Chains A and B, each alone.
Chain A
């Protein structure tokens, strides 16, 4: 026997080999089990590193002193990570080549490093090696990680089951190296092992028998793991398992998910309401008054600049900022749910529901993302492997209710349904899910009759106590993202809306900046479309103009309303919270006295029609212009039909 083939380059350390006549011991194991740490510990990090001949795979070699006697020095070969001797990668090919080498090239023993935290996975290689006569020693690492998971491993019992020595060690703390050296020395002295089982050779093995062979090996592995590893306290069912019996149950799971989401919106709207009112008073009062006085002092009190700054920027941006406590609270609650591990259960529940309806199972991920923002959700459809699944999901994402739409729901729900605001907002989210499912089924039936659902298997992480640091960091990150996007969009739309509101409509009296808003180009454009929306109960130009602005971005709907009503009313008469009253008057006028039903129809329209131009840009990138245009037509049609239905049926009942 001799040393393994000489690596080509890179010598590090002083003495790296044990000499040409020394025995060769191969160090094998699955990736990331602490193999290199063990190699460095026992060889003192003196190694040569080079590419295995004919490959680009790196192999380390070092001298390992097994017992203070130079005669007991062996050459340890640090092989690349390999799960099995049935090579599927260049790394595994090298491991297989070294371990199964015959004649002079053959190693004298193999040390298999195995993690106690993933014992079964690491034992497959041992199962294969134990079908041969080569001496094997198992080095058991990561016992601390296994213990934290409640797994106690008995190395002696494992050794009995595997029929080879097992040494528990901790290479990161340099413990157990001496015992391992002694075990390897003993194995070298003892010589070949009795094989545990003789499998058919891989060359003669029919393809259909590979499963039988795997069954035999895993049966042996399962028995060894069952006997050598115990769950601490004997409790195999963890707290997470007990909770998951209900949280992922077919009927209780979805009901629990809906209850949790309802509680989130209820807490959000109730707790944030006083803070929102206080901020509203602050922007409508001291901030607007201060800006008024400042502009009057510099001589711009009656100029168009005043309209832009006070009625545009302060009214629009101020209105957005009143939603900061609400958004922060909702992001915080969702972050806590994610950090606790519950959201992974929600994914299982959602997936099961979608799977039953015949939708692509994994499409739940982009759809869940869509409830935050539709733009990254469209990009996330790339996780779907089939083009038709990506197309269908990208067409459904706009029906998921993003956080920008939430601000409008909250304003309208707290104004028109103050006693049930949380429930109304929750109902909008429920409707959003229903729309996704119904439109999904419709498209599936129309576009493809045989759209198979793909199964999803999740390894659910254990429940854990949410950490304040992580939850707050996630909340801040999302809030910052929302504010950055929203503020940019709002400033841009405020400028456009201000400009259109400052220009007199053809035939109207007045000059630029000195025209009543109802006589502006802005109102004229909205009035030309308003009759179309009259059957839905919101055919007033103030409402229609907000929907036009909302086509650009939903974040700007409220700011455009604030701008419109601020211009319509002298600042001296403005009071905090008055926007709601003005909206009430508008909806009452457009609905013939059925303001509540008209608001519900408006909210449904807002939910279903095109989310924003950024989503359209993302859709165009992912599914092309033709499908994007078809999607817009579908969204407008669904929104219009639903809104008209809600108003026409609602006004008969209410």
Chain B
């Protein structure tokens, strides 16, 4: 399988093969970091990967004071992806989804 002709499949294979950072995925596939990043975003949208934002505890002001909170002030943690309100870098854990059934 060529990463040039099947980049998304190559990224998924690298993650299934145990790559643990975006740099490692880029190294294994030979793709640019930007393309790897976009391919992972797409795999999350397709449901092939599960993304979960990691945060350390909750702020004393509650979800409304959290950068990961939703626009409505409700909890954004443990959602499928980081809140769109978040502007800084976030730590995200990715898990390859199990096929249904």
Interface residues of A (CB under 8 A from B): 31-32, 81, 83-84, 86, 88, 118-121, 123-124, 210-211, 214-215, 218-219, 221-223, 225-226, 229, 241, 244, 248, 348, 351-352, 355, 361-362, 365-366, 369, 376, 379-380, 382-383, 385, 454-461
Q: Are A379 and B57 in contact (CB under 8 A)?
A: yes
> B24-64 interface mask toward A, CB cutoff 8 Å, 1 = contact, 0 = none?
01000001101101111110011010001011111000000
Q: B35, B52, B54, B78: which contacts A218 (Cβ < 8 A)? A: B35
Q: Are B21 and A248 in contact (CB under 8 A)?
A: yes
CA gap between A460 and B25 in the complex, in Å: 12
CA gap between A32 and B19 in the complex, in Å: 29
Q: Are B56 and A380 in contact (CB under 8 A)?
A: yes
Select from chain B the residue with minimum beta-carbon distance to A236.
B32
Q: Are B38 and A120 in contact (CB under 8 A)?
A: yes
Q: A31, A211, A454: which contacts B95 (Cβ < 8 A)? A: A454
Q: Are A365 and B4 in contact (CB under 8 A)?
A: no
Q: Are B7 and A225 in contact (CB under 8 A)?
A: no
Known: A86-B45, A118-B34, A455-B94. A385 touches B52 (CB 8 A): yes
Q: Are B45 and A459 in contact (CB under 8 A)?
A: no
Q: B9, B21, B55, B77: which contacts A459 (Cβ < 8 A)? A: B21
Q: How far is the CB of A388 from chain B (nearest CB, A)?
A: 16
Known: A118-B37, A459-B89. A244 touches B23 (CB 8 A): yes
Q: How far is the CB of A183 from chain B (nearest CB, A)?
A: 24
The 4 closest A-B pairs by CB, nearest first: A120-B38, A121-B38, A215-B6, A218-B7
Q: Are A211 and B46 in contact (CB under 8 A)?
A: yes
Beyond the given A355-B20, A455-B96, please list 7 additional residue pairs across the A-B interface where CB-CB is below 8 A. Answer: A32-B84, A86-B45, A118-B38, A211-B48, A221-B38, A222-B31, A382-B58
**Across the interface, which residues of B come within 8 angstroms of A225, CB to CB?**
32, 34-35
Q: Are B32 and A222 in contact (CB under 8 A)?
A: yes
Known: A365-B54, A383-B55. A120 touches B89 (CB 8 A): no
Select from chain B the residue with minimum beta-carbon distance to A86.
B45
**Across the interface, which residues of A come within 8 angstroms of B32, CB to CB?**
120, 222, 225-226, 229
Known: A210-B46, A376-B56. A456 touches B41 (CB 8 A): no
- How many chain B residues touch A (CB < 8 A): the figure is 45
Any A CB within 8 A of the CB of B15: yes
CA gap between A363 and B31 in the complex, in Å: 30
**Across the interface, which residues of A come within 8 angstroms of B31, CB to CB?**
222
Between-chain CB contacts (< 8 Å), 16 pairs: A119-B34, A229-B32, A241-B23, A248-B21, A355-B20, A362-B54, A362-B93, A380-B56, A383-B77, A454-B93, A457-B15, A457-B40, A457-B94, A458-B21, A458-B91, A461-B89
Q: How far is the CB of B37 from chain A (nearest CB, A)?
A: 7
Q: Are B39 and A218 in contact (CB under 8 A)?
A: yes
Q: Are A459 and B35 in contact (CB under 8 A)?
A: no
Q: How far is the CB of B14 from chain A (nearest CB, A)?
A: 10
Q: A31, A84, A86, A380: which contacts B57 (Cβ < 8 A)? A: A380
Select from chain A the residue with minimum beta-carbon distance to B34.
A120
Q: Are B92 and A379 in contact (CB under 8 A)?
A: no
**Across the interface, which residues of B come within 8 angstroms of A383, CB to CB?**
52, 54-56, 77-78
**Across the interface, which residues of A come within 8 angstroms of B101, CB to CB?**
none
Most interface-central of A83, A118, A454, A457 (chain B CB within 10 A): A457
Known: A118-B38, A362-B54. A457 touches B92 (CB 8 A): yes
Known: A121-B41, A225-B35. A455 touches B56 (CB 8 A): no
CA gap between A295 and B18 in the complex, in Å: 69
Q: How far is the CB of B81 from chain A (nearest CB, A)?
A: 10
CA gap between A459 and B94 in the complex, in Å: 11
Q: Are B93 and A456 in contact (CB under 8 A)?
A: yes
Q: A123, A244, A365: which contacts B56 (Cβ < 8 A)? A: A365
Q: How far is the CB of A339 from chain B (nearest CB, A)?
A: 14
Q: Are B21 and A124 in contact (CB under 8 A)?
A: no
Q: Are B39 and A457 in contact (CB under 8 A)?
A: no
**Across the interface, which residues of A come within 8 angstroms of B34, CB to CB?**
118-121, 225, 229
Select from chain A the residue with minimum beta-carbon distance to B96.
A455
**Across the interface, which residues of A come within 8 angstroms of B95, CB to CB?**
454-455
Select from chain A the residue with minimum beta-carbon distance to B78.
A385
**Across the interface, which residues of B come within 8 angstroms of A211, CB to CB?**
8-9, 12, 46, 48
CA gap between A240 and B52 in the complex, in Å: 26
Q: Are B21 and A219 in contact (CB under 8 A)?
A: no
**Across the interface, which residues of A come within 8 angstroms of B8, CB to CB?**
211, 214-215, 218
**Across the interface, which residues of A come within 8 angstroms of B55, CB to CB?**
383
CA gap between A120 and B37 in the complex, in Å: 8
**Across the interface, which residues of B come within 8 angstroms of A81, CB to CB?**
84
Select from chain A the residue with minimum beta-carbon distance to B55.
A383
Q: Are A457 and B19 in contact (CB under 8 A)?
A: yes
**Across the interface, which residues of B come within 8 angstroms of A121, CB to CB?**
34, 37-38, 41
**Across the interface, which residues of B come within 8 angstroms of A455, CB to CB?**
15, 18, 20, 93-96
**Across the interface, which residues of A come within 8 angstroms of B42, CB to CB?**
84, 124, 214, 218
Q: Are B20 and A458 in contact (CB under 8 A)?
A: yes
Q: Are B22 and A457 in contact (CB under 8 A)?
A: yes
**Across the interface, which residues of B come within 8 angstroms of A32, CB to CB?**
84, 87
